[in-house]
Structure 1
Amino acid sequence: MDFIKLPGFGLPVDYMPGDNRHFPLLLGTGSDFEANTLTNLELCMLRFIEEITNKSDWWIKVHDPTIASQWKTEALEYDWGQYLRYGDFTTAMADACIEEMKLKASLYQQANLLPVYDYTAAIVKPDHLIPDDLWQTLKHGVKVLEDVPAAVKEWHPGSDRKVLNLVHPSMYPLRFLNKTDQSDSEYETEEYDSSKDRDMPDSESEDEDDNEQERDPNHVSEKEVKCRDLRWFYKTHPVVAPEPSPESKLKFCAEDIKLMGFFHNILPETGPQRLQVIVKIANIHLTPEDPNYPGGSWHTEGQINEHICSTALFYYDNENITDSYIDSEPCTIQSVGSVLTREKRALFFPNVFQHHVNSFKLADPTKPRHRKILALFLMDPAIPVISTANVPPQRQDWWPEELGPIGDLPFDERIAKEFRRDLMEERSANEWQAYDKIKRAEWNFCEH
């Protein structure tokens, strides 16, 4: 029988594969991720493309010479010194940006994906990736979590009752030294890492449970997601060949496609067996009495032992909220720019950006309104971690009475909040240490 070996269970908590095929991290080893410093003119070009691609139907308008000429004129007349010290814009820069956006327009129309701030890494910001029916299903499904008595609503600590947690992974984290796993292997982890907590990811699986207490009738099943993935694959990987005769049909699947270049270097030879994600859903509520949101803190996602390699954000409901941006940190670390967030926009970016949500407020200060966000944090496929595939639910109110406690499990809400407090304090301390480490860099400035 093969024992389970995962970071923190049979392997050190800070385990990293030796073949260097994991995705890069900003806070990884010294050579894990490096980016050259951009010139001020390059930063202005990146900003120009970001602003233009926020316009409606930009992918069509960029091919209209009259509209493209107008954008060019506006860029040349703008005082770029207001955006960036010593900023400037030339005719050649404008022409290059227009040509680049024509290429991006083709990609956007084919795959609904738009990379911006792309040089060493990139941020992808699609506005039409999520179908309307799936978007409405998500909004309807989340209401089950929202429509609860005020006494049991979970307001995020320190948010002044502005950030409402609907799904927060740090409430019931994995406790390395207090954990019973569904396997025969034992491993003491304290000597490898002082951290005793980690957000627990969900693993993609096909479980059917007749005793499930509550399921939205409009719940988006994993089978539906897989069907969408299959349709996406055949749409983006068309077979360029003459129409075959009925008796010689060509059948192939994703596994038949030979990996080349970047993909061959990153993915394990056998390919990932499953995807692991940490799920988070939160609402930001503003009122006429308190109409301003000050913004979030600077951070990268997770800690090293969580192996988060990228983030997906979906702003599925904005109402009466001013524009806000995912912003970047100035100082010794170079600020690459900011990306506009708005309703129905998704953002994808690798975990090499230190970032935060900029401030925003009520557009109409007389009406209370909100912003709602779904966040998915993808674990590195090359480094599987302990997840819901190995660990049963830890919430006391989820366990049938006849099972009873098993050691320190399960734990109630009071203990869960203590664990969350400890985890947040540890992460804050690590963020300050990381910030101090990064800002002391003199060369090869990290990307933000």
Structure 2
Amino acid sequence: MSTASDVDAAADAQISRMLDQFEQMERPVAKPDWTFPLPFIPFSDLESDEACWGPSARTLAELRMYELSWAIRSKSGWETKIKDAQIMANWRAEATLQQEALLKPEKLTENMINFVLQELHSYAQLVDAKTGIQAGPFDAIWYSDRLLSSKLLSALRAEALNLEAIPHALKDWHPRSNGQVLDLVHPSLYPIVYGRTQSLSAAHIEIPTLHDKWRSSGSSSRRSPGSMSMSKKFCWLPSDFAISSTGEASLVSPYINNLHPQHHAGLYRVIEHVVGSFVPLFERVLSQINGSERDLLRHGQNDPPPGTGRIVRSRIFVTRMIGYDFKLAANEVPCIWLNGDTLFRDDFETVEAMYEAVERLPEAHAAYNGVLERSIVPYSLRGKTIQCIIKLANIHLTPENTEYAGGSWHVEGMLNERIVASGIYYYDEENITESSLAFRVTTTPPAYHAQDDEVCAEILYGMQRDSHCVQDIGSITTPSGRALAWPNIYQHCVAPFRLADSTRPGHRKIMAIFLVDPSLDPIPSATTTPPQQSEWARYALEEAQQDPNSVISKLPVELVHRICDESECAAGGRYVGRAEAEAIRLELMDERTVFVERRERVLSGSFNMCEH
């Protein structure tokens, strides 16, 4: 007589055979050419209000494990304290005690707590003693509180102050920022304007064409770029930096957009050093998005093999649709119902009763299994020329304007810029309360195990019917001196903060570096695009007029001034005057506001729980 275990083994063998047969089937596979994931839908026919676009959803249990790990790793000297058995025992007891007040599905199990504590030793191995670089609250978020030397930090502060030392009427307060955000260097001013901005060859820079090859049954086809993700008008202008074998950065481009190379030569040297300091941070970010789930068209199709993740998975026979590809979801988190019967919200009088009725919950592996180490596929920027978009900005608060309301959820740029990672250095602050940067990620719809099993989906993944496919993945405080880098597939949002003493002014100052995907062909940069600022042309003409060896010096002063005036007034010409540049910036901002709003609707499309 067959036992239950015999039946289970036979069923498992049958599923394995079906999986093998399924994998051998010839079917279309969408595979773009890029190496790293970008947060944009690349093709217009994939834009749908019901599209969920991103990596696989994590269970709430795993996200709570990340939260516990980060709470411990946020403690001062944690990497030393984990060597103390008594401290580890205290942390285990404290974490266990915290579970008592929670409902059953919210509790971390003993295995989960033990797994997190064991994993701390692997996190400690990733701490760079020289630079202070270490892992942040979630995969591919890295930070350091001593990335820059005190000498370099002082130089950055001093040189940036020179940008502020101008008459108040000339200061560039960012539009629609309530007079709080002061732009020192911002890529939205004097961007590339397609069809107008000229390259060094004097040809106008045109809208790029996305030539990604899609393999489909052995043939390749071309698809038009997504109308939502690709700007038809503008592109931020990066500068090129050569990275040496030891990680130092040297500016290749003749200028950084919106930063005059002669008037601010000292800041140029500082920026080179800061970019070089960020190289190991960016390398760590790229190394953790350089693995098996690296491109978004295949996210959700690469479930981890059994035994390799933090949460135990089972072989479950489920067919679902991912983009254009059917997939057999073999390794999934088991359903919360043991016997296959689905219970619904209406079956319970209270949420507490529903939670207590759950029959099976996710469980962590009994021992740490090296999941952190396996998530890293080393990637080096050494010996490459990288493209970086530079931004410097301050937030100023006053007794009349005491609170910064916080930012919006967003990623950086559009598909044109191909920004793969962002870095921020918080180089100065005064008289403000603690601030933080929060992260979330758009995911593919989670696999569920019966149609309309909304209770299971909510308890396992925190998603309800018609909710957005978005998961919060942590936040990190941003004190002065902290350097932070993360992949652009994560949305981020600045938390509110206010004056600590409302009778005095306060500020926060940052330098941001947006890294263009180094695995792709370069986009137009300051190396191939002459400056567009008409005032820079005026400076050059006036300097040449003072040089006795220059042909310009032979011209009458009145003629030189007329040339300068006409270069600023020539609408649609090669040079752009300040008033026109500010008008272009508003148009760019309007375009990207629409993009952010539509991306919010499309990329975090609703989880409709239809059978796929």
TM-score, length basis structure 1: 0.77
Distance 2:406 2:388 in 1: 25
Distance 2:254 2:60 in 1: 55
Distance 1:94 1:173 in 2: 50
Distance 1:222 1:35, change over 3 A: closer
> How big is each residue's C-alpha offset from its partner over 1:242-301, in whole Å with a ceiling of 9 and x where there is no partner?
xxxxxxxxxxxxxxxxxxx9457x99xxx9851111111111111222221111011111
Matches within 5 A, 1:198-213: 198-204=235-241, 205-206=251-252, 213=262
Note if contact 2:253-2:527 (Cα within 8 Å) is conserved in structure 1. no
Distance 1:133 1:194 in 2: 40
Matches within 5 A, 1:358-377: 358-377=495-514
Q: Which residue of 2 aligns with 1:320?
A: 431
Q: Secondary structure at the match of 1:348?
A: strand
> How big is each residue's C-alpha offset from its partner over 1:46-89, in whole Å with a ceiling of 9 and x where there is no partner?
1122222222222222222233333333323336989x995323
Q: Which residue of 2 aligns with 1:408?
A: 573
Q: Which residue of 2 aligns with 1:102?
A: 121
Q: Secondary structure at the match of 2:490?
A: coil
Distance 1:421 1:80 in 2: 53
Q: Which residue of 2 aligns with 1:10?
A: none
Distance 1:228 1:295 in 2: 28
Distance 1:375 1:94, change over 3 A: same
Note if contact 2:437-2:475 (Cα within 8 Å) is conserved in structure 1. yes
Distance 2:232 2:126 in 1: 43
Note if contact 1:280-1:374 (Cα within 8 Å) is conserved in structure 2. yes
Q: Secondary structure at the match of 2:160?
A: helix
Q: Secondary structure at the match of 1:311?
A: strand
Q: For the aligned residues, what is the CA RMSD?
A: 3.5
Q: Which residue of 1 aligns with 2:598?
A: 433
Distance 2:118 2:176 in 1: 46
- Seq. identity, %: 32
Q: Does 1:135 align with 2:272?
A: no
> How big is each residue's C-alpha offset from its partner over 1:322-341, in whole Å with a ceiling of 9 and x where there is no partner?
22221245952112222222
Distance 2:254 2:605 in 1: 51
Distance 1:71 1:194, change over 3 A: closer
Q: Secondary structure at the match of 2:115?
A: helix
Note if contact 2:254-2:527 (Cα within 8 Å) is conserved in structure 1. no
Q: Which residue of 2 aligns with 1:196?
A: 233
Note if contact 2:403-2:499 (Cα within 8 Å) is conserved in structure 1. yes
Q: Secondary structure at the match of 1:203?
A: strand
Note if contact 1:22-1:383 (Cα within 8 Å) is conserved in structure 2. no
What displacement does 1:303 show?
Answer: 0.5
Whichever residue aligns with residue 495 of structure 2, its letter is: N
Q: Does 1:292 align with 2:292?
A: no
Whichever residue aligns with residue 94 of structure 1, its letter is: I
Matches within 5 A, 1:369-408: 369-381=506-518, 382-399=520-537, 400-401=540-541, 405=567, 408=573
Note if contact 1:81-1:87 (Cα within 8 Å) is conserved in structure 2. no
Note if contact 1:54-1:340 (Cα within 8 Å) is conserved in structure 2. no
Among 56, 61, 67, the residue aligned to 1:36? 56
What displacement does 1:364 show?
Answer: 2.6
Q: Which residue of 1 aligns with 2:490?
A: 353
Distance 1:101 1:349 in 2: 20
What displacement does 1:25 show?
Answer: 1.1
Unaligned runs of 5+ in 2: 1-30, 210-224, 242-250, 282-375, 441-461, 542-559
Note if contact 2:153-2:427 (Cα within 8 Å) is conserved in structure 1. yes
Q: Which residue of 2 aligns with 1:245?
A: none
> How big is each residue's C-alpha offset from its partner over 1:146-201, in whole Å with a ceiling of 9 and x where there is no partner?
22211111111111111111111101111111122112766754998662111111
Among 22, 40, 45, the residue aligned to 2:35? 22
Distance 1:223 1:286 in 2: 30
Q: Does 1:63 align with 2:174?
A: no
Q: Which residue of 1 aligns with 2:72?
A: 52
Distance 1:103 1:286, change over 3 A: same
Distance 1:46 1:37 in 2: 14
What displacement does 1:102 show?
Answer: 2.0
Q: Secondary structure at the match of 2:126?
A: helix
Q: Which residue of 2 aligns with 1:241?
A: none
TM-score, length basis structure 2: 0.57
Note if contact 1:24-1:32 (Cα within 8 Å) is conserved in structure 2. no
Distance 1:151 1:370 in 2: 19
Q: Secondary structure at the match of 2:200?
A: coil
Note if contact 1:296-1:356 (Cα within 8 Å) is conserved in structure 2. yes
